[in-house]
């Protein structure tokens, strides 16, 4: 069912002020959601995360010098 603008305005005018403010916030949320959905999504490409992650050093599993006295 598609509601006409007139019907929608009539319903909104019948709401108490606190619910109108809530409706205003919800409308802003819907507009933002709609704008984000319209943005073109960047396609994923092979290798796009290259050099993003730091590799662990070769001696990562070796005991630390600071803990030698406890071992």
What pTM was computed for the model? Answer: 0.50
Q: Where are the beta strands (DSSP E) in 1-71?
A: none
The string of pLDDT tens digits covering residues 15-64 is: 999 999 999 999 999 999 998 887 788 888 898 888 888 888 888 888 88
Domain limits, the chain: 5-70
CA distances to 27, 64, 66 from 5, in Å: 14, 71, 73
The position carrying tokens 């960047």 is 42
Give yes or no for residue 7 having a pLDDT over 80.
Answer: yes
What pLDDT does residue 5 have? 93
């Amino acid at each position: 069912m598609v509601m006409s603008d007139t019907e929608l305005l009539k319903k909104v005018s019948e709401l108490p002020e606190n619910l109108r403010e809530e409706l205003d916030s919800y409308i802003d949320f819907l507009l933002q959601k709609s704008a984000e959905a319209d943005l073109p999504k960047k396609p994923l490409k092979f290798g796009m995360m290259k050099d993003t992650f730091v590799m662990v050093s070769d001696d990562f599993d070796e005991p630390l010098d600071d803990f030698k006295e406890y071992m």
